[in-house]
Chain A
């Protein structure tokens, strides 16, 4: 294995491990509650009226054929 081969192996593995490590570190250190909902309860969500992202946009079609 040449020096260039080693460099490519180490950089590739290192980049992936760093990205994976960063993501899991962020997930583990985030303070939000990890459990979203007990199983099998009603979690139906509808767009809130005051939502800045969809305010003013027409409601999604319910009966467009």
Chain B
């Protein structure tokens, strides 16, 4: 059988922008600034940069290197890449996490992304222009999501319509192909994102003192609130964990997406410089642009306590409740509101398309399907399952998807990647592989950083497992255990939707494992037949 043709990137900037687009997401503009102001301001940047150097950059190097290596053997998804690197039967099954994680995240990410598109249109239409209080904005958001009553929306219909639009946009890009779809979109979206971000940054910087009666709430103090360091927090482990978590989640590592993108490179294409460039672009969007919009803007209108409270309420609250209220208070708020939410939408779509590519690549490389067939099959599957997140939002289904895919499996997958890289590729060979065809030669002593990365990631995982994952997983069982106790001692009853979600996710994992088994069985049969 003739080897199947694999696609290729059109230009070098194309893959750099695609990987940067995958990494730049809502977290850059919403999660990062919230983490900074809650964890010591400027002092947070010390653990943040240490984590970036010891965790972020090495993980990017590993993913690009292993991805390009797998591509040499016509594998673009984690099962095949692990199989090529490890050369043991179990490796392909371990790689199933590289299919499970992006799929689970895609189910809910597209829905959240569609909120950004909806809010950008609402902003232009002035749909929430009269709202000037966060509580009213929260009611507007809940009504839009179909989990609250009142406001402008009587049902989830509008949200569902925007979801359909967003979903179709994602599928069209994936259907069209690597160079003409993903690469083209990212080469347009990333510069637009940069310009829109700079426009917003300049607007915030020129706000001066919006309320003449509160001269303390000015732009200098707003930046001071964000950047003045509180060194005492550096003794708290939670601050270091928050920094490591932020770096880990912002770079899109552990998803398999970077590996898949890198698998479309040629054997001697540079990865050492390209990977670092993509990571540095993500930092530019996160620290310089993301760090200069939400929190300073919130400070100018809500003051220090209000800003801290908004940050504590979480990422979504900051983006969809606090920011619209603030933007309503500035001149031409409709235009800047549109800018803000369209910026988030662009950041979202460049990330969500990267979540689908590992699945497309798996069906193409391991089953010999063409891209169009693979895109349609994945599209139908994702469309059906996404409904669980849309209609189960109020029951906590989306949070459950986020926990299993976006927090637990992604971190375990990243640790597996590092361990496989160290054990089966090895430091010396891995370092040579990283520098094959490289346009930059990093100092040789840096190759030992991979060991530090493994230890660092392992330590973080142990902490998260003990203090975050186990309590989350045990929530329903806590209820079962306490059922016989007096009412005031009982744990909160668990919703059946949570248990069904867990069962569904487990079933999906088993189906993916079966698909991997089937793919290798067919491969073995073909090889036997050819012999």
Contacts and interface: CB of A to CB of B under 8 A. Distances in A.
Chain A complexes with chain B:
yes
Contacts of A60: 73, 83-84, 87
B145 to A, nearest CB: 35
Nearest to A12: B45
Interface string B26-38: 0000000000000
Nearest to A29: B439
A29 to B, nearest CB: 9
B229 A4 contact: yes
Contacts of B526: 63
A23 B73 contact: no
B488 to A, nearest CB: 48
Interface residues of B, number: 66
Given A2-B224, A46-B73, A53-B432, A23 B280 contact: yes
Contact of A24 (B41, B277, B287): B277
Contact of B5 (A12, A23, A43, A64): A43
Nearest to B16: A27
A6 to B, nearest CB: 8
A39 B264 CA distance: 12
A53 B221 CA distance: 56
B87 A58 contact: yes
B250 to A, nearest CB: 13
Interface in B269-286: 269-270, 273-274, 276-277, 280-281, 283-284
Contacts of A35: 10-11
- Which interface residue of B74, B227, B440, B527 has the most chain A CB atoms within 10 A? B227
Nearest to B75: A60
B524 A63 contact: yes
B527 A62 contact: yes
A44 B224 CA distance: 54
A36 B220 CA distance: 47
A5 B223 contact: yes
B317 to A, nearest CB: 25
B8 interface: yes
Interface string A1-40: 1101111110111011101100110110010101111011
Interface string B329-360: 00000000000000000000000000000000
A37 B284 contact: no
Interface in B285-299: 287-288
A39 to B, nearest CB: 5
A50 interface: no
A58 B86 CA distance: 11
Given A36-B266, A47-B73, A16 B9 contact: no
Contacts of A43: 5-8, 266
Q: Is the interface of A mostly helix, strand, loop or mixed?
A: loop
B316 interface: no
A63 B520 contact: yes
Contact of A63 (B42, B273, B527): B527
A44 B5 contact: yes
Contact of A34 (B11, B274, B284): B11
Interface in B493-527: 517, 520-521, 523-527
B228 interface: yes
A30 B266 CA distance: 17
A19 to B, nearest CB: 4
A65 B49 CA distance: 43
Nearest to B83: A61
Given A5-B229, A39-B10, A45-B71, A65 B520 contact: yes
B42 A12 contact: yes
B475 interface: no
Contacts of A47: 72-73, 267
Nearest to A58: B87
A27 B72 contact: no
B72 A45 contact: yes
A7 to B, nearest CB: 8
Nearest to A47: B72
B12 A1 contact: no
Contact of B284 (A20, A26, A36): A20
Nearest to A20: B280
Contacts of B9: 36
Contacts of A42: 5
Given A1-B224, A32-B439, A48-B267, 4 more contacts: A30-B439, A35-B11, A44-B74, A64-B524
Interface of A: 1-2, 4-9, 11-13, 15-17, 19-20, 23-24, 26-27, 30, 32, 34-37, 39-48, 53, 58, 60-65
